[in-house]
Homo-oligomer: A and B are copies of this chain.
Amino acid sequence: MSTPPLRKDAAQNRQRIVEIARRYVDDGRPLQLNDVARTASIGVATVYRHFPTPEALLEAVALPAIEKLVRRAEHALTEVDPWTALRDFLAAAIEALLTDPAVPPVFAAATNSLEHTGDLKRGLATAFAELLTRAHAAGVIDSSVTEADMTPLMCGIAYAANVHSALGPTERATNGLRYLNLLLTGLYRP
């Protein structure tokens, strides 16, 4: 599975493509590979070689945000109170989903369909599972909720916050956190 390191020019092109793609995502423009290639003044084939599909490119764009979230998860695992740990991590996840438009599709995609972020997402799932196990053991959350529910629920909250396309980023973030609080209230068992 080990890939030989990219040639210098290839690495440069790859990075440039991701940078351009990031702008597309931030501006809400559709991520069309031909279009990205033209903007980057790079041959279409080069773009397709690096990223066979728009999803693959989007993954690369979302990578830093996902990595950051993984670090947050690791940090959450050092928190002693299971409820606080879970709550803080979920808030971080919602923040990532609402802050970076590249994140939700990657988060929602099936893990095994992902080339670049598959491992990271599996890591997140493990962290989720651990946080949930602790919370269950402490008896602070609804016992019927499993790890398999968490990603969908987070995506659902982010989706709900984004449905009002008229709202600005700030209101959407606020709504996302409000919705998360409703869910947390529903989960909590004092």
Q: A: which residues have CB within 8 A of B?
A: 108, 110, 142, 144-145, 148-149, 151-153, 155-157, 159-161, 163-166, 175, 178-179, 181-187
Taking CB as reference atom, which chain B residue is nearest A166?
Answer: B110
Copy number in the complex reads 2
Q: How far is the CA of A42 from the CA of B151 in the complex (A)?
A: 43
> Which residues from B are CB-within-8-Å of A149?
175, 178-179
> Which residues from B are CB-within-8-Å of A110?
165-166
Q: How far is the CA of A77 from the CA of B163 in the complex (A)?
A: 26
Q: How far is the CA of A102 from the CA of B179 in the complex (A)?
A: 25
Most buried by B among A163, A178, A179, A184: A163
Q: How far is the CA of A185 from the CA of B73 in the complex (A)?
A: 26
Our pick among B165, B182, B187 for the contact of A187 (Cβ within 8 Å) is B182
Our pick among B161, B165, B166, B185 for the contact of A186 (Cβ within 8 Å) is B185
What's the nearest-Cβ distance from chain B to residue A151, in Å? 7
Q: How far is the CA of A153 from the CA of B110 in the complex (A)?
A: 23
With A159-B160, A182-B187 given, can you name 13 additional A-B contacts, CB distance below 8 Å? A108-B163, A110-B165, A149-B175, A151-B163, A152-B163, A152-B175, A152-B179, A155-B159, A156-B161, A182-B183, A184-B186, A185-B185, A186-B186
Q: Are A152 and B161 in contact (CB under 8 A)?
A: yes
Q: Are A179 and B156 in contact (CB under 8 A)?
A: yes
> Which residues from B are CB-within-8-Å of A144?
178
